[in-house]
Amino acid sequence: MNDQPKFDAGEAGKYFFRGGHPGWLGLEYVSHGANWVELKLPWREDLLGEPDRPVLASGPIVSLMDMASGMSIWQTTGAFTPVATLDLRVDYQRPARERSAVWGRVECYRVTRSAAFVRGIAHDGDEADPVAHIAGVFMQVSYDAKQRLEAKSEGRDDD
């Protein structure tokens, strides 16, 4: 029997964004559903891509989308388990508007035993006019897989 509570993006966001890289970026939880999460990256002058143009750099936007991707996977599976970004394609459509925050909404649309697939958009207030589209694949490391790997490294065959 599993006594672990089901993953809840809203509750997790209270802790995820207090420190570390997401906290330093100032990421904020916005909303979620059964298989999607929406986060916000507030505009900050120290996150500019070009000193003469008050537009968020692409790096923080990629970080926003990567975090929203992971959270959408946990929201879909209901479990906070290790995931690793294998491939995250970001297709930029245009720069964000000057001095504008960027929102990232990502859905996890397929989960297999070892991988999860996501897609989403980054926008600066108008979802119909996105800053970027993303598509990604994440590796899931289940507890069972970790145990099998440990057994193999110790010369045991637990399969």
pLDDT of 155 reads 73
The string of DSSP letters for 30-69 reads EEE-SSEEEEEE---GGGEEETTEEEE-HHHHHHHHHHHH
Q: pLDDT, tens digit, for every residue of 126-152?
A: 999 999 999 999 998 765 655 556 666
| Strand, helix or coil for residue 9 | helix
Structural domain boundaries enclosing 148: 9-153
Residue 37 belongs to domain with CATH number: 3.10.129.10
Residue 70: inside a domain, yes or no? Answer: yes
User: Which pTM value belongs to this model?
Assistant: 0.87
Q: pLDDT, tens digit, for every residue of 63-117?
A: 999 999 999 999 999 999 999 999 999 999 999 999 999 999 999 999 998 899 9
How many domains is the chain partitioned into structurally? 1
